[in-house]
Amino acid sequence: MTVTAPQGFEAAGVAVGLKSTGKPDVAVVVNRGPLKVGAAVFTSNRAKANPILWSQQAIQDGVVEAIVLNSGGANCFTGSFGFQTTHQTAEKAAELLGVSAGDVLVCSTGLIGTGDETFRAKVLDGTAQGIAALSADGGVDAARAIMTTDSVSKTSTFQGDGWSIGGMAKGAGMLAPGLATMLVVVTTDAVLTAEQADAHLRAATRVSFDRLDSDGCMSTNDQVSLLVSGASGVTPDEDAFRAALAEVCGDLARRLQADAEGASHDIAIHVVHAASEEDAVEVGRSVARNNLFKAAIFGNDPNWGRVLAAIGTTEAEFDPYRVDVEMNGVRVCSDGGPDRPRDEVDLTPRAVSLVIDLKVGDAEATILTNDLTHDYVHENSAYAS
């Protein structure tokens, strides 16, 4: 049931022809309350799509009644016409729901730089159809409606002590921090203030979506939203809720990683014994963005020299001649030199674990990435066709 698993939420996903496949392409999620609390985090890309510009304004008061999402068009770099389309989408939803347009978030995903009267008409029609189809069972259709190049819909739920969390996500490429080419909606029936929702969401995304770095490319449309209904009447322990939210976001992030465009390996880069968490993240990200390393993993080649070369470009505190590197349980590098033979490493499974031991402190972090494949290049070379 995804986003409709918690009490107080209804959703729908409808098809209005934004996708040539005829599959659902507009989703609506509505918070029936009693609380109408919302929080959101957005791409840090300076180039932002019109829905991002709108939602950044709308979220300022911490009140969210509904969110409308479309796939099949990013509505980015479409000028004033595109922003008016987003504004009209929120107004249409507000009119039909009897709420303020300023309390409706809008999200879009798809090809950048396209949008015309036909696109606008379909989005507005989809908004109306979606609201007419709202139900407590509509979460599955909503999760399907936000898919673009995704091969599967991505959902996650958590059952707490009298309260729950539900989530849906889309994304299959251009995954980099500052979120990814992702749209994520998370709902909860726990009782939270707007300030708590914002703090918990930022803490959760920091250790989940912000550490997903599939191909080092940052999108213009990324948005992760948290809607709070308070319908359970339960105020959870703050630490317990934050941990649960991080678990749901982490699960969704791993599902995004597993569906990355054209990938044949899912790589978890564990950096341990760093001087600080920031150093651990910097080191992990340097490897995640190194095309030579990613190409080696695609070829099932445990080329640990490329790992050391990548981390040597960072400002993190460590001695490269003391670093250990382990691949899928085999320590191939010890103190910056060869250890076990490379042929002991089996990289044929999809899951790859890389452990980098910096030996300078107690901090650690994990970055998720994928390999660089022929299929990735082909799919992204033909994305607009």
Enumerate the active-site residues. 181
Q: How far is CA 63 from CA 41, 89, 192, 193, 194, in A?
A: 14, 18, 12, 10, 8
- State the Cα–Cα distance between residues 237 and 245, nearest whole angstrom: 12
What H or E segment, with its residue span, contains residue 128?
helix 117-132
For the record, the structure tokens of 137 come out as 């069972």
Q: Where are the alpha helices (DSSP H) in 207-304?
A: 238-258, 277-288, 291-298
Determine the distance from the C-alpha atom of residue 364 to the mean position of all C-alpha atoms in its chain, rounded to a whole number: 22
For residue 195, give the nearest of 61, 99, 102 by alpha carbon. 61
> How many other C-beta atoms lie within 10 A of the C-beta of residue 378?
11
- State the Cα–Cα distance between residues 265 and 78, nearest whole angstrom: 36
> How many other C-beta atoms lie within 10 A of the C-beta of residue 10?
21
CB distance 187 to 6 below 8 Å: yes
Angle of helix 194-206 versus helix 238-258 axis, rounded to 10: 40
